[in-house]
Structure 1
């Protein structure tokens, strides 16, 4: 990646952000409304954050993803970052993507946006905000999906309650667990070492306590370098479900 792109991605999150948000068309009809909910807690270091942002740029520039967006009739997307309970922020509000220009521009906007926080990990707060955005969105006829990307492998059971509330509201939660064997994470101020992970690891945690709803699934990223390809495969599957 060029130095200019890395610099743009790594801008401090305390700086003012120019997000170039475009309001959605109020009466836009799309088959899928998708919240891209991304963990930016301090278990994700600066280099890993760059890989995540580049993964989004690559996925939304992928020819197969673009073709599937077009075939599905479009998709409404919003990008949200979370770390602790007071750090859940919409970086890019609802956009309607219809084809190549829209998709590429959206991916570039994600890649260029500065990081919003780097605190503890409160997945349940992120899920509640993503659910609110979907249930209050201007796309009432669309399939409602939250796409969770995180390296969190355990949270003491808190995510499951938020997951159940989302499912009760008609939302589907899909997971993109990022496997990180040696990371030390922080959950509500407490360190979560690998020994605290469930026996079935992050994938098992996502399967039991994070994903849920009609047609829910997960696609694991082997590590942060694999994030972009895992995201591409996940988007294709979500778009195909919405298309059908």
Structure 2
């Protein structure tokens, strides 16, 4: 009831625009441990997940209250790039536009480091631009432990009280990587993300068994994140 009331009040406070049900930021790992094939599997996996019929229905379930999405990629401490700026998902055509943006994105040169803490801070900064949204969620995808920049745990602690949930999509790989300092493939990687990264209400870590499994894992994660109260339920709780 308390959560429903908070969401309802936030929705009611946006009189001049479509009310924002949820701000959702996706941060994609493009560090040196991600090769060209895996980069494409990751972007295409996000695009296909957004086009999944069940995910599409979940994104549109509470119109006119919208889900607003931003997608960025990250590697080194000062190396983040926005691929899809803040976009209110107002209909199927908007989802298709986001999918097209991802499909047309080409990889650029990026520093090879894995600055996971800096990526989390960048995601929090993006979410600070949407204080109007009833729920704010940051997703971090990664296939290795942080090796540059601020420690994820310190960034996580600094985010306490900001009203942000940080979830993770952890990519574990069966084959070793010839990248110095990479922890990709380690079975303890999911435990690392759970201990050092995820935080906030109902935070969780989803696991993909290699980038070929990325799309399926992203579908599972999005459906779990987007599950929530309907507009009808919110209205009923206000009575």
**Counterpart-to-counterpart distance in 2, 1:35 and 1:168:** 18
Partner of residue 173, structure 1 = 166
Partner of residue 228, structure 2 = 241
Alignment of 1:85-234 (within 5 A): 85-119=77-111, 120-137=113-130, 139-155=131-147, 158-181=151-174, 182-185=176-179, 191-194=180-183, 201-234=188-221
Instruction: Find the partner of 2:18 among 1, 25, 28.
Output: 28
Instruction: Find the partner of 1:43 among 33, 48, 66.
Output: 33
Report deviation, 1:110.
1.5
**Structure-2 change in CA distance of 1:124 and 1:56 (3 Å):** same
Gaps of 5+ in 1: 1-25, 186-190
User: Is residue 2:54 matched to residue 1:64?
Assistant: yes
Q: Deviations over 1:179-235 (max 9, x none)?
A: 1241244xxxxx3144996xx511001110011101101111111000011101111
**Structure-2 change in CA distance of 1:227 and 1:112 (3 Å):** same
Give the aligned length: 211
RMSD: 2.3
Contact 1:72 1:240 in 2 (8 A): no
With structure 2 as the length reference, what TM-score do the two structures score?
0.81
Gaps of 5+ in 2: 1-15, 234-239
Contact 1:178 1:222 in 2 (8 A): yes
User: Which 10-residue stretch deviates more, 155-164 or 231-240?
Assistant: 155-164
**Structure-2 change in CA distance of 1:242 and 1:95 (3 Å):** farther
Q: Which runs of 4+ in 1 moved over 4 A?
A: 154-157, 193-197
